[in-house]
Structure 1
């Protein structure tokens, strides 16, 4: 099943995001095919990252929440909040 992981950064934490980014990317790469797609949300004013969205494949919502909790960004305290929601891919679904 697919789950959307939606994360909002704490205000004024851009440097923490930048410092933690290499570990974050290594973590996501280690998950292999569980990660379907993802990337940062950007501010309208200056196009700097303000959060993250990941689409993951997991057996249960608890498994998806565990993926989110183990992310180096989460472990570093970057996020103000994290929401994990089941998601159904309908439009432009890859074969």
Structure 2
């Protein structure tokens, strides 16, 4: 089962995050074979971390709970809140299989939160959703897929990793996305993001 995690940093926790880098990496090393994507979201300066995103293939909800709440940053109080959702790997690859980045482009994590009870409406627009992303943005998508309830039955939004010229391009991509035009998102977060992991692996 694929799970999406976004841990939002507590304001002022950057020094503690730095202290825990090695402990965090060591913890994540245990999941190297299951990792689909990972990395920090960044503030306006492009350096200060604002959160951590991980997408991991795990056996069940108990394993997902352990991944989120046994992690050293969480245990030490780096994070203000943690979002856990089931996820589906639409492109069927990891971020490391994406290929070489395009010079001058930036990477973004986009979390689009669905309105409650929109699963049926989403199903009706699913083909158009994939058509929009695959036709117009396929080469710039690192990973994307639906956010799902813990039992995998209810649609709860969309998470995308994309490499685009700038934030305006990310906003335009989402504004023209069929779920957004259909009113199925209650809000959309766009975060600057970079590939994570030990520096030698980046």
Structure 2 distance, partners of 1:58, 1:31, is 9
Q: 2:8 maps to which residue?
A: 8
CA contact (8 A) 1:61 1:86 kept: no
Q: 1:70 maps to which residue?
A: 70
Q: Deviations over 1:51-85 (max 9, x none)?
A: 00001111212211111111111111100000110
Q: 2:45 maps to which residue?
A: 46
Q: Which runs of 4+ in 1 moved over 3 A?
A: none
Higher relative contact order (CA 8 A, sep 6+): 1
Structure 2 distance, partners of 1:70, 1:40, is 18
Q: Does 1:84 align with 2:96?
A: no
Question: How many residues get paired?
Answer: 93
CA contact (8 A) 2:20 2:72 kept: yes
Q: 2:162 maps to which residue?
A: none
- Secondary structure (helix, strand or coil) at the match of 1:64 reads helix
Q: Deviations over 1:33-61 (max 9, x none)?
A: 12222000111x21111100001111212
Q: 2:156 maps to which residue?
A: none
